[in-house]
Amino acid sequence: MYPIVKKIIHSPAVKEFEVYAPMVAEKAKAGQFFILRVSEKAERIPLTIADYNREQGTITTIIQELGASSTLFGQMEEGDHILDFVGPLGVPSEIERYDHPVVLVGGGIGIAPIFPIARDLKEAGNEVISIIGARNKELLIWEEKMASVSDQLIVCTDDGSYGRQGFVTDALKDLYEERGQLSALWAIGPMPMMRAITNVTRPWELKTIVSMNPLMMDGTGMCGACRVQVGSETKFACVDGPEFDGHLVDFDLAIKRLSIYKDQEKRALAVLEHKGGHCGCQ
């Protein structure tokens, strides 16, 4: 059992959890993920590691309540225990020293998992430029944390309620026009956002890494549910990723696959709401 030691509510649907999982925290690296199961009858949920503290033995993650499983997790409180917590899984981000600035783009709750990558790149001696965005100010998270590991931070909101109005792609275009020489870019967020980023950077021939979040079941490469088409190859996000060359990812196929179980997800959420939406976690 893995106790929740801290919970922060960023908005009604966006929650931050710090979980005591010392064996996972000991080995965790930027770019990796873990899989948890709230209770015996709950689904397995893959979540990207947003932060880790080896001394305290904790893993931090941020979720957005969308379906039944994420809603159940979101209801848990400090002191509650998670039944299963497996990780770290996946291939860590490749961190190196580049000659020119690197760019980190985080959209929505994707801002959280982009943070440890930015931190490691900064510690490696890079000039780090971060662009973070959300639909509105209420959904913007971790601005101060991103600022602490960035030489320059650009904040965007779709509705202009905070920072500059517009999409992260608009800010990226302006940045490239201003700076020109960039070495690499990492993007984490909704798949349409990551697809848009790769479409922007492809003509620049800028190395662009995306973190894929396809449907996932076992997390060990056995089920094949998380397959992603990367160039001419079929890759598994759980063991080959979650990071891939964004210019090679078939985003149209990936987005289509995400919608396969939408009807079942809606029914599961309806059942949860009919039962009062209580997780029964103690």
Instruction: Please say if the pLDDT value at position 184 is more than 70.
Output: yes
Element housing 5 (H / E)? strand 2-9
| Residues 59-100 pLDDT 10s | 999 998 877 778 888 899 999 999 999 999 999 999 999 999
Looking at residue 278, what is its pLDDT? 54
Choose between 41 and 170: higher pLDDT. 170
Instruction: Please say if the pLDDT value at position 272 is more than 80.
Output: no
| Residues 109-130 pLDDT 10s | 999 999 999 999 999 999 999 9
The sheet that has 33-37: what strands, in order across it? 44-48, 33-37, 84-89
Average pLDDT score, the chain? 90
For residue 94, how many other CB atoms are within 10 A of its CB?
12
Instruction: Please say if the pLDDT value at position 43 is more than 60.
Output: yes
Q: Is the peptide bond before 192 cis (omega within 30 degrees of 0)?
A: no
Contacts of 61 (CB under 8 A, 6+ apart): 16, 17, 19, 34, 47, 48, 49, 50, 112
CA distance 182 to 173: 12
Single out the residue of 25, 26, 51, 47 nearest to residue 38, CA to CA.
Answer: 47
Annotated binding site for [2Fe-2S] cluster: 223, 226, 238
Annotated binding site: 62-64, 223, 226, 238
Q: Is the peptide bond before 242 cis (omega within 30 degrees of 0)?
A: yes
Helices first, then strands: H and E counts in the chain: 8, 17
Q: How confident is the model at residue 223 (pLDDT cuts 50, 70, 90)?
A: confident
Q: How confident is the model at residue 261 (pLDDT cuts 50, 70, 90)?
A: low
Is residue 138 within 8 Å of residue 160, measured between CB atoms? no
Q: Which domains does the chain have, with CATH numbers?
A: 2-90+265-274 (2.40.30.10), 102-211 (3.40.50.80)
Instruction: Please say if the pLDDT value at position 148 is more than 50.
Output: yes
CA distance 224 to 242: 14
Instruction: Please say if the pLDDT value at position 279 is more than 70.
Output: no
| Residues 156-183 pLDDT 10s | 999 999 999 999 999 999 999 998 899 9
Q: How far is CA 140 from CA 9, 41, 192, in A?
A: 12, 33, 18
Residue type, 48: T
Q: How confident is the model at residue 280 (pLDDT cuts 50, 70, 90)?
A: very low
Is residue 66 within 8 Å of residue 158, measured between CB atoms? no
Choose between 139 and 217: higher pLDDT. 139
**DSSP reduced 3-state for 24:** helix
Annotated binding site for FAD: 62-64
- Calculate what percentage of the chain has a pLDDT beyond 70: 92
